[in-house]
Amino acid sequence: MTGHPGVITRVLASLPDNAERHAATTITVTLTTDHDHRQAALDVANDGSPIPPGHRETITRAARHGKTQAQAGETATALR
C-alpha cells in the first residue's frame, strides 16, 4: 500500500480493532512477506459473523474514494 503515513497507520490499526469488535472468540493475524517483489500482506480474520455481501460495497466505498473517516461517518477505513 502506498499512501499517506497517517492513513496507512489508521488502516492498520482499524483491522485488529474491527476483528476484535466482531469476533466471537478467536482472532487470527497473519503477515506474509515476498522479499523478491517487496510486498507484504496482512490478513486479519475472526470467527464472528461475516459481512453480508450487500454491505461489503458500502464498507469499502469511503476508502476507494479517498474520504477521511470523519467524511465517511463510522464506516471502516479500508476493509476489503
Residue 5 grid coordinates: 503515513
Report whether 75 contacts 58 (CB < 8 A): yes
- Could you tell me which of 31, 35, 12 has the C-alpha nearest to residue 3? 12
**pLDDT-derived band at 27, boundaries 50, 70, 90:** very high
Name 20's bridge partners.
Answer: none
**pLDDT-derived band at 80, boundaries 50, 70, 90:** very low
- Could you tell me which of 25, 60, 31, 58 has the C-alpha nearest to residue 44? 31
Per-residue pLDDT tens digits for 37-78: 988 888 888 999 888 888 777 766 655 555 544 454 443 344
- The answer to pTM > 0.75 is no
- Could you tell me which of 78, 80, 19, 79 has the C-alpha nearest to residue 48? 19
